[in-house]
Chain A
Amino acid sequence: MKARSPIGIFEFDEKGIVRNIELFEKDPEKAAEYFIQSADDGQDQMRENFRAYALKHFSEEDLNAFISEFCIALSKKMMSGAVGKDKLIIQASNALEELVKISNTLLMRTAEWFSLHYPECKKNNETLAEYIAKYGRRENWPEFKGSLGVEISEEDETVLKTFASLAYDAHEQKKRQESYVKIGMKKVAPNFASLMEPLLAARFLAAAGSMEKLAKMSSSSIQLLGAEKALFRHLRNKGRSPKYGMIYVSNLVQSVPEDKRGKAARAYATKLMLAARIDYFSGRDESAKIKKELEDEIKIIKG
């Protein structure tokens, strides 16, 4: 029977007597790595025997320093790496909004430009950009059979091809960045991000400014997040006071009959506040429970 320890694997016989210790390398990082991969039969005897045996291989101070570093290495592997990540996610999310606009514009422009040369081509904008970047002029395309479009010179082709690959890269980067923001958001705020589409959750975070600020917001402030523009308009006496921010565009509130949306938005904001606080202050993933509670509340509101 085996039991893991920071310095190696202890082997016990049926009477619980130590038979052998298979020592790890004296490198705490590597030891933590081996430790995680090793099997363990959960031997109580390990605890009693550990120090006496370990001191055959280490001085007391070295052993303590080793265990300390081992525990740090082990703990780092168990942490999600969420601290400080909120600011990175906010930048990526803001950049993503720009990227969505830019990549659409670039793709549309590419299609319009290339249609002068090959108007018969019927591909969607993304595939079109990909093909132009790959093949260039229509004559190089596998499916090309003939066209009524204008002829282009080598110079025309180079410029168009480069632009198309820029458009295609922007589009690819948009997709990569979307998945980066989604995954990152679930790490930084697993509870909050479980209550809505993670990309929208990232926009909430960006509007709040940081995880700390989001966690310290009241539910009524959360309800108004993203409504800042309307709020300023109202403060300058030029519009109605805004009732809702981004919450209102969420699928959840939109799924509720119009006369009950205010109530739904309030219930939603309260749960979001709770979720943000758990994320920031404890970091525990209680998303299944919170999600269920919210769904039940919305069901009641719908009647």
Chain B
Amino acid sequence: MNAVSEWTRRCASVCLRCSKTGGAWTMKELSDGIFADKGKLYTENLVPGIKVYGEALAKKDGKELREWDPTRSKMAAAIMKKIKTIPLKEGSIIFYLGAASGTTISHFSDIVKRSGLIYGIEFAERVFRNLIEIAGQRKNIAPLFADARLPEKYFWVEDCDIVYADIAQPDQTEIALRNAHIFLKKGGFLFVTMKARSIDVTKDPKQIYKEEAAKISGKNYKIIEVVDLEPFEDSHAMIVAEKGQ
């Protein structure tokens, strides 16, 4: 895969903290809690021995790492595609719309550790059960069974550093904005995944990303970047914006 080899090159040059050499540890820490090795991404398992979605586990220097699959998680795909904004770190408070069964959230949970917290909104009961189970193991995921279109129902949730929306709805940008308006701290980051086909099948995806980004930038947000997720996800992109003061 082309993106993967690009990725390997990038690791050799752009990694933020290429520490821990000299031992068996050849892995690079790309950003706080996100590791890369031989074209693969990893996070350090918060609950060693337990897998969340059948991902591979690796041992390095007494740490257990969980492989973060870019074909299963759009954030991993965005990192593979060289997203510049990775504000996730130990202690971050994240607001996550469309938590599903917790695939991506489990990696966020690894990164923010127990001093951080992820509020996960999901309205489909079947996947929510799974999320509850993972939350019970990790203690830094707060699952909320609610409709992201009705923020009044969880109005009491605290201010968050990051709002991440992945709900695959045609009006997802509007829903994400409504939530970010309430729950995102000033200067915080908004991530919105775009599935071009669920917005308009007839239009060119690039055109759609532009239009959706325009909806966001009009509203006290600055678009930082739009990352195309091909080839990991077909006609998908990730829009990143920063909330103004």
Contacts and interface: CB of A to CB of B under 8 A. Distances in A.
B124 A281 contact: yes
A82 interface: yes
B128 A64 contact: no
A46 B156 contact: yes
Interface in B122-151: 123-126, 128-129, 132, 135-136, 138-147
Contacts of A47: 156-159, 182-183
A68 to B, nearest CB: 5
B115 interface: yes
B205 interface: no
A159 interface: no
B117 A68 contact: yes
Interface stretch (A72-80, A122-130, A250-258): A72-80
Interface string A176-187: 000000000000
Contact of B145 (A4, A48, A64, A79): A79
A205 to B, nearest CB: 16
A225 interface: no
A60 interface: yes
A82 B145 CA distance: 14
A71 B158 contact: no
A37 interface: no
Given A68-B139, A75-B128, A40 B117 contact: no
B209 interface: no
**Chain B interface mostly:** mixed
B156 A4 contact: yes
B144 A61 contact: no
Contacts of B158: 5, 46-47, 50-51
A282 interface: yes
Nearest to B129: A83
Contact of A42 (B136, B142, B146, B155): B155
Interface string A66-92: 011011101110111011000000000
A71 B125 contact: no
Contacts of A282: 123-124
Interface in B205-240: none
Contacts of A74: 144
B1 to A, nearest CB: 31
Interface residues of B, number: 34
Given A40-B156, A51-B158, A78-B145, A83 B115 contact: no
B124 to A, nearest CB: 6
B114 interface: yes
Interface string A197-219: 00000000000000000000000
A283 B91 CA distance: 34
Given A47-B158, A61-B114, A72 B183 contact: no
Contacts of B182: 47
A3 B114 CA distance: 26
Given A68-B135, A82-B125, A282-B123, A3 B156 contact: yes
A284 interface: yes
Interface string B106-127: 0000000011110100011110
Contact of A283 (B114, B117, B123, B152): B123
A90 B2 CA distance: 51
B52 to A, nearest CB: 16
B144 A71 contact: yes
A190 to B, nearest CB: 12
Contacts of A46: 156, 158
B124 A72 contact: no
A82 B124 CA distance: 11
Interface of B: 91, 93, 114-117, 119, 123-126, 128-129, 132, 135-136, 138-147, 152, 155-159, 182-183
Given A65-B140, A75-B132, A75-B145, 9 more contacts: A42-B152, A46-B158, A47-B156, A47-B157, A64-B117, A71-B143, A75-B143, A76-B132, A83-B129
10 contacts: A40-B156, A47-B183, A64-B114, A67-B117, A68-B139, A68-B142, A75-B146, A78-B146, A282-B123, A283-B124
